[in-house]
Structures are given as structure tokens and as C-alpha cells.
Structure 1
Amino acid sequence: MKWYADRPVRFTRQLIADLLAVGWVALWIWVATTVHDWVLELRAPGDGLVNAGGSIRDVFNNAADKARGVPLVGDDLAGALGNGTKAGETLTSAGNAQISVVQDSAFWLAVALIVLPVLFLLITWLPLRLRYARKAGSTAKLRDKPDLLALRALTSLSPRELGKFENDPAVAWRMGDTDVIEQLASRQLAALGVRA
């Protein structure tokens, strides 16, 4: 396979297209990480719930521990304050659930923002590059076989290109006209940006 043309104009176009493809991927990675960070900012209420629930749980735990020391009603009072501890744990669980949803959403949104544009690029740009690499590579191997290159030119060059010949190039090729064969071979190579 031959990834790049030998001719400067086509090589430059290919290089620019490849750099744009890399830039496209880099752009979407940047967009995905930026959106990921923005979405993660939505976890602030969940963090607040976790902190508030932890504070409430700690306050009621401390109160229940101190209430146990009260004569006669200490255990009952500590049990009642234990319900406040459960409320704090409920708030903490709700906050953790919200944080988990926000983190999962941020992750999958970032994945989608990378995968879809890269998939689009792989479907559009990559087949063109692979097709060129295969064609140019196989054509470059035929440099020392001008008859085959001329035949390939007869079948692949546009009618306008073939019409530029003074006489019918197919007849000249069949008759073994070396000048026409060389011209056809060089035009076939030039069409793919490969040097003769």
C-alpha cells in the first residue's frame, strides 16, 4: 500500500485531509471532556445531600449516645433519636444515587460525543484513504510494466483525458506504439500522483 502520493499537490491535499481528520478527532475529544466536566457540575446538589445527611446522622448519633446516659428514659430516648439517624442515612443514600446518575450520564454522553463523530470519520474518510493506498500501491508496482499501465489507463482514464490523444489510443496500444503506451502509462501514474 502507498499512503501518500509522490506528486506535491496531491500529497499536500492528502496531508491536509489527514491532519483535518486528526483535528476532527481531537476536537470531539475536547468537546466530550468539556461536556463531561459541565455535566459533573450537576452533582453539586447530590454532594449537598450527602453532606447534609452525614451531618444529620452525626448529630442524631451524638444525641442518642448522650441520651443513653439519662436515667430511666435514656434507652427510649436514644431509640427515638435513632430515627433521626435513619433520616440522615436516607438523605445520604439519595445524594449518592443522584451523584451516581450524574456521573453515569456524564460518562455516556462523553462516550457518545467521541464515538459518533469518529465513526462518521471512519465511514467517510478512511475508505477513501484505503482505496487510494491500495490503488496507488498496486499501480506503483507496475512502473516497469508500461503495457499494463497503458491498458489500465485505457480502462480508467476519463473520456476527456483519452480524447486528448491525437489518434485513438486503444488502436495505438494494440499496435504497440511505444510513444502512446508511454504516454498512457505516465498519465495513469499521474492520475494517482505516483512518479514514473
Structure 2
Amino acid sequence: MKWYADRPTRLARQVVADLVAVAWTWFWVTLALAVGEAVRTLRAPGDGLVDAGNALSDTFGDVAAKARDVPLVGGKLADALDRGKSAGGTLTDAGGAQIEAVESTALWLTVALIVLPLAFLLLTWLPLRIRYARQATVVRRLRDQGRLDLLALHALTTLSLRDLATFPGDPAEGWRRQDPEVISALAARRLRAAGVRA
């Protein structure tokens, strides 16, 4: 596949377009990762809830274990303190849910900020580059095979009327007569249009 033109002007435009595509990709990936990290900072309250819930559960668990040693009322006191331990578990679960929500939001926001701009790029820039590469490859192959008459015929069907009017005489008639000058001139225009050196 021929990805770049031989002609300097078109080559420069293609290189600039490719560099813009790379810069576009880099910008959106960098931005998406930064936004994801910024959203992840919102998990701090959830981390605090988890830490507080774990500390509360541990404290109530330790106190309940010691309360069991109290004569007569130790069992009932330990049961009451165990309910405090379960409250710590509820607090831990709430913190975990908040952390999960923040992480999920950060992930999907990062993915969206990468996928959508890259999809736009792939739908606009990539088809143009592939179409050029295919076209230039075929045109170069025809040139290398010496099939200038086919290139001239294609030029006759694709050149604007203004371009065709610049030829001295009728280029279609010259092509039909297999006039080497007309065929060469038409083929050169087709090669130039494809950015391929004649």
C-alpha cells in the first residue's frame, strides 16, 4: 500500500493530518486519564466510612468479647454490643458501595472520553487515508505496468470540464486515436491527482 504521496505539497498535507490525528488521540487519552483520576479522588469519603465502620466493628467486637466475662449480665450485654458491631458492618458496606460507585463512574467516564473522540477520528480521518492508499497503489501499479491508456481514460471520466477544456483539441478524440501525447498528458494529470510521480 502506498500511504504517502510523491508530490511534496500533498505529502506535507498528509503528514500534517497524520500528526494531528496522533495529537488528537494523545490529547483525549491524557484528558480521559486525568478526569478518571480526578473522579477517583471522590472516593475519599467512602474510604473514611469503610475505615470508621471497620474500627467501630472491631471496637464493639472487642468490648462484646470482654463483656461476656461479666458475671450474670455478660451474655445480654455482649448481645447488645454485638448489634453495635453489626452497625459498623453497615457503615463499612455503605462506604464500599460509595467506593464502587465512584470507581465505576471513573472507569466509564474514562472509557467514554477515549472511545467517542477516537470513533470520530476513525470515521473521518481513517477512511480518507485508506481510500488514498488504495487509489495511489492502483495508480502506481498501472503506471509501472505502462498502462497509461487506462490512466488516461480514468482522467477523461474524472477531470473537470475546465481541466479538459485546457487541452488543445478534443482529448477524448485523441484518446480514441491512441495519440501518445494526449494519452501521456491525460495519464500525467491522473497521476498528479493521485499524488504519484509520473
> TM-score category by the smaller chain?
over 0.9
1:53 partner letter: G
- Deviation by residue 1:61-95 (Cα, 9 ceiling, x = unmatched): 11111111111111111111001100000000000
How far did 1:55 drift? 1.1
- Deviation by residue 1:155-180 (Cα, 9 ceiling, x = unmatched): 11122221211211111111222111
How far did 1:31 drift? 1.1
Q: Structure 2 length as normaliser, TM-score? A: 0.96
How far did 1:42 drift? 0.9
2:67 partner letter: A
1:182 partner letter: S
Question: Is 1:38 the counterpart of 2:52 in the alignment?
Answer: no
Alignment partner of 2:169 out of 167, 184, 187? 167
1:185 partner letter: A
Q: Which runs of 5+ in 2 are unaligned?
A: none
Q: Structure 1 length as normaliser, TM-score? A: 0.97
Distance 1:69 1:162 in 2: 106
Identity %: 59
1:153 partner letter: A
Structure 1 partner of 2:13: 13
Q: Secondary structure at the match of 1:150?
A: helix
Q: Tell me the C-alpha RMSD between the 2 structures.
A: 0.9
Distance 2:8 2:137 in 1: 17
Structure 1 partner of 2:151: 149
Distance 1:46 1:186 in 2: 69
Q: Which runs of 5+ in 1 are unaligned?
A: none
Structure 1 partner of 2:81: 81
How far did 1:11 drift? 0.9
2:103 partner letter: Q
Question: Is 1:186 the counterpart of 2:188 in the alignment?
Answer: yes
Structure 1 outlier segments of 4+, above 3 Å: none
How far did 1:18 drift? 1.0
